[in-house]
């Protein structure tokens, strides 16, 4: 199977690059983007395609459709009925927005490769399961598209490294769906940690929802509107079951490493944003985990992982049953704890503190999707870069490997491998089912 033509950089992309406008930090939402001015001319809109129409994909339709700087031209899902349903929903949204009786500007697909061949698609939003992310994102970049890729960035560390190189080699913009970087509370917590307001940060605590146990499911006939072979994609072939081909794939290692990865990456990303040295040098890890003993799920239900940076800074990563949900930075002069919708600190006066002149200010984004569109036009990195997504995904994956190991592990960030432990290193890559390749 051939990958997309790497020379397919279209006139429309050249226009976007040449018409780039300079955007200085902080990123703010202009009135035109919020719909308080006329939509951009059709020739100036960024053409989008949504690849995958589960929970996240449909949320992205709701997020991007109102933005006048872009237009959703295609939706894609391996279930034909889903693709048609959300094609109609997109057309209806635009019809209502333009006060038209009808609108027919969105096309439904079941095969993402057909979408990548369209010259009017400037960017794709990837919301398929994790086992698809590396292939879809790398093929999109080679086809000259920019990419919004949901978290976790890839299924394995090896795929993540390959994807970073593809994105940079092709000059592609990639925004990772770690949208907490576009939340002022998370940015504030990280600026407090990085500017010394907590004193020496010695401990970071991260807790996220735990995994699930699933019942066993017998094979059943493939629905007529599903391309099941394409649903599996690069994953090993296994019989179809409705239980698997729904939200439950999150807890099956062929498609995702579980919520230690797919939920964990959110708060681990914030941990790294606030304390970057956790992703430097040699990290010492040890962990324990509780795994299903029956049924379809095979990813961790509970876990407790400790990671020690070279200078002694400690990360404690657990499921919510063993810790308080969110990300907490603890220093010798105070602490700050942040979750979606809330931030607390001790002393409480830290909450009114802002960086002084000369101190670090992190990139400011107040809307993750708007930030992505702005980056497409400016050709400047978005707030969640491919490197940040790879680092946070890697941290979640090596934590998962630590829960499966009976010994302390030494992770070398520069080499992206475990030292003196080849059995652990075998988890860093997987082979793709033929004929798929990055």
Measured at the CA of 176, the angle between CA 232 and CA 257, to 5 degrees, comes to 45
Reply yes or no on whether the pLDDT at 339 is more than 50: yes
| CA atoms within a 13 Å half-sphere pointing along the CA-CB vector of 112 | 29
In angstroms, rounded to a whole number, what is the distance separating the alpha carbons of residues 336 and 204?
10
Cβ-contact 25, 380 below 8 angstroms: no
Over range 117-127, report the average pLDDT: 97
Q: How confident is the model at residue 364 (pLDDT cuts 50, 70, 90)?
A: very high
Give the chain's largest Cα–Cα span.
66
Q: Write phi, then psi, for 259 (nearest 5 degrees).
A: -80, -10
Q: How confident is the model at residue 111 (pLDDT cuts 50, 70, 90)?
A: very high
Measured at the CA of 424, the angle between CA 420 and CA 430, to 5 degrees, comes to 130
Task: Average the pLDDT over each of 27-41, 362-376, 406-420 and give the range with the smallest value.
Answer: 27-41
| CA Rg value for the chain | 22
Put the strands of the sheet holding 417-418 in their side by side order.
Answer: 342-346, 334-339, 326-331, 201-208, 314-319, 302-308, 282-290, 409-412, 417-418
Please report which helix (H) or strand (E) contains residue 63, including its range: helix 55-64
Over range 421-427, report the average pLDDT: 97
Over range 367-389, report the average pLDDT: 98
* Average pLDDT of every residue of the chain: 92
The two beta strands, 417-418 and 46-51, are: unpaired
Higher pLDDT, 43 or 382: 382
Over range 362-376, report the average pLDDT: 98
Q: CB 422: neighbour CB atoms within 10 A?
A: 8
Predicted pLDDT at 41: 72
- Give the chain's domains with CATH numbers: 11-180 (3.40.50.720), 182-365+386-428 (3.30.360.10)
Q: How confident is the model at residue 38 (pLDDT cuts 50, 70, 90)?
A: low
Reply yes or no on whether the pLDDT at 3 is more than 70: no
In angstroms, rounded to a whole number, what is the distance separating the alpha carbons of residues 148 and 371?
11
Cβ-contact 375, 173 below 8 angstroms: yes
Q: Indicate the pTM of the whole model.
A: 0.91
Token pair 């059995």: residue: 423
Q: How confident is the model at residue 101 (pLDDT cuts 50, 70, 90)?
A: low
Reply yes or no on whether the pLDDT at 347 is more than 60: yes
Chain-centroid distance, C-alpha 273: 15
Question: What are the pLDDT digits (tens) for 215-263?
Answer: 999 999 999 999 999 999 999 999 999 999 988 999 999 999 999 999 9
Percent of the chain with pLDDT over 70: 90
Question: What are the pLDDT digits (tens) for 273-310?
Answer: 999 999 999 999 999 999 999 999 999 999 999 999 99
Nearest to 334 by CA among 321, 323, 348: 348
């Amino acid at each position: 199977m051939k990958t997309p033509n790497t020379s397919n950089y279209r006139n429309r992309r050249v226009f976007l690059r040449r018409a780039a406008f300079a955007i200085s930090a902080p990123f703010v939402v202009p009135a035109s983007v919020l719909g308080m001015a006329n939509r951009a001319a059709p020739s100036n809109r960024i053409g989008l395609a949504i690849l995958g129409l589960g929970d996240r994909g449909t949320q992205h339709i709701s997020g991007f459709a109102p933005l006048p700087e872009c237009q959703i031209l295609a939706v894609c899902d391996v279930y034909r009925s889903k693709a048609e349903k959300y094609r109609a929903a997109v057309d209806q949204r635009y019809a209502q927005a333009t006060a038209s009786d009808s609108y027919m500007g969105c096309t439904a697909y079941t095969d993402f490769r057909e979408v990548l061949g369209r010259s009017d698609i400037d960017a794709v939003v990837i919301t398929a399961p994790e086992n698809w992310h590396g292939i879809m994102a790398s093929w999109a970049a080679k086809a000259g598209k920019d990419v919004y890729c949901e978290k976790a960035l890839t299924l394995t560390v090896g795929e993540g490294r390959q994807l970073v190189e593809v994105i940079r080699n092709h000059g592609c913009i990639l925004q990772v769906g770690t949208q907490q970087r576009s939340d002022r509370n998370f940015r504030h917590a990280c600026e407090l940690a990085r500017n010394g307001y907590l004193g020496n940060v010695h401990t970071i605590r991260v807790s996220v929802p735990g995994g699930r146990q699933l019942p066993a499911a017998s094979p059943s006939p493939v629905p007529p509107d599903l391309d099941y072979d394409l649903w599996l994609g690069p994953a090993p072939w296994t019989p179809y079951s409705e239980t698997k081909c729904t939200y439950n794939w999150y807890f099956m290692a062929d498609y995702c490493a579980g919520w230690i990865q797919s939920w964990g990456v959110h708060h681990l990303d914030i941990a790294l944003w606030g304390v970057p040295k956790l992703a430097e040098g040699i990290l010492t890890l040890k962990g324990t985990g509780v795994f299903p003993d029956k049924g379809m799920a095979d990813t961790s239900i509970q876990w407790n992982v400790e990671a020690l940076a070279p200078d002694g800074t400690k990360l404690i990563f657990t499921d919510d049953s063993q810790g308080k949900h969110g990300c907490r930075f603890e220093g010798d002069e105070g602490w700050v704890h942040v979750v979606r919708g809330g931030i607390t600190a001790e002393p409480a006066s830290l909450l009114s503190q802002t960086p002084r002149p000369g101190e670090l200010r992190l990139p400011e984004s107040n809307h993750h999707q708007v930030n992505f569109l702005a980056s497409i036009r400016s050709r400047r990195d978005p707030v969640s870069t491919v490197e940040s997504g790879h680092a946070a995904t890697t941290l979640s994956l090596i934590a998962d490997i630590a829960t499966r190991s009976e010994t302390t592990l030494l992770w070398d960030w520069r080499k992206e491998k475990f030292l003196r432990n080849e059995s652990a290193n075998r988890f860093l890559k997987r082979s793709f089912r033929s004929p798929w390749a990055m």
